[in-house]
């Protein structure tokens, strides 16, 4: 019985350490959203970031890139409902936005039909819809693949575009994880 208990404790300890190790591979960055608190994202620590804040209180766009090179470019536009529509972040609203945007992109893509997918999280249900398209005529040096979608976080729709050179880019998983765990906070944080 003692050996079995010790085995359970070791398995539990290994699980805790594995969780801590994966958490240590991310940093929480806070981006002030004027009039709407802040957006917190868990990101790889070496990703570079910048914020484009248009005038007149329009939605900001966050841009992320690798520490060197041009393996990917990630744009995240933080949107909210000016009329405070409670359905703004509902799964059916997000699905409609993604499908409409994606259908508009098909004329420039290799794909003939939109390969959209829902993203679900245990306890939260569907939180996003995404799709990946291949550029049918990429300019030399430009990105060949585009993954787009919308996630819900608090009152925000997080509309993202991930541009990559590889269809199964290493940037996709941390992008989806960051957006799936994004959260709106009431006060802009100082940590970045």
Using only the alpha carbons of the chain, give its radius of gyration: 19
Which CATH number characterizes residue 101's domain?
2.60.120.1690
The first and second tokens of residue 101, run together, are 């945007």
pLDDT above 80: residue 68: yes
- pLDDT per residue as tens digits for the range 99-120: 999 999 999 999 999 999 999 8
In this prediction the pTM is 0.83
Q: For residue 15, tell me if it sits in a domain.
A: no
In angstroms, the CA 3 to CA 93 distance is 53
Look at residue 22 and tell me if it is in a domain.
Answer: no
Mean pLDDT of the chain: 86
Q: For residues 167 and 131, what is the distance between their CA atoms, to the nearest angstrom?
A: 11
Number of domains in the chain: 1
Facing residues of 126 across strands?
120
* Residue-wise pLDDT tens digits, 3-23: 333 233 223 322 332 333 345
In a domain, 108, yes or no: yes
d(CA 128, CA 77): 14
CA-based nearest residue to 40, from 166, 179, 148, 167: 179
pLDDT band at 24 (very low <50, low <70, confident <90, very high): low
11 located within any domain: no
**For the CA atoms of 65, 63, 45, 125, what is the dihedral angle to 10 degrees?**
-120
Note whether 38 and 32 are within 8 A (CB): yes
Q: Is residue 86 part of a domain?
A: yes
Residue 73 lies in a domain: yes
User: In angstroms, how far apart are the furthest CA atoms of the chain?
Assistant: 68
**What was the pLDDT predicted at 187?**
59
Task: Give residue 113's domain range.
Answer: 27-185
Three-state DSSP state, 133: strand
């Amino acid at each position: 019985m003692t050996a079995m208990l010790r085995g359970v404790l070791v398995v539990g300890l290994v699980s805790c350490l594995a969780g801590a190790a994966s958490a240590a591979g991310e940093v929480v960055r806070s981006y002030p959203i004027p009039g709407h608190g802040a957006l917190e994202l868990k990101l790889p620590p070496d990703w570079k970031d910048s914020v484009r804040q248009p005038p007149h209180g329009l939605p900001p766009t966050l841009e992320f890139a690798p520490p060197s090179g041009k393996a990917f470019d990630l744009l995240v536009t933080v949107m909210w409902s000016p009329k405070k529509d409670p359905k703004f972040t509902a799964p059916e609203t997000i699905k409609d936005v993604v499908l409409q945007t994606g259908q508009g992109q098909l004329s420039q893509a290799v794909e003939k039909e939109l390969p959209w997918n829902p993203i679900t999280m245990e306890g939260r249900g569907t939180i996003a819809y995404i799709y990946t398209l291949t550029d049918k005529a990429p300019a030399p040096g430009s990105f060949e693949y585009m993954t787009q979608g919308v996630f819900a976080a608090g009152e925000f729709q997080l509309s993202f575009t991930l541009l990559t050179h590889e269809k199964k880019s290493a940037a996709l998983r941390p992008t989806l994880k960051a957006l799936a765990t994004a959260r709106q906070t009431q006060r802009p944080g100082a940590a970045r």
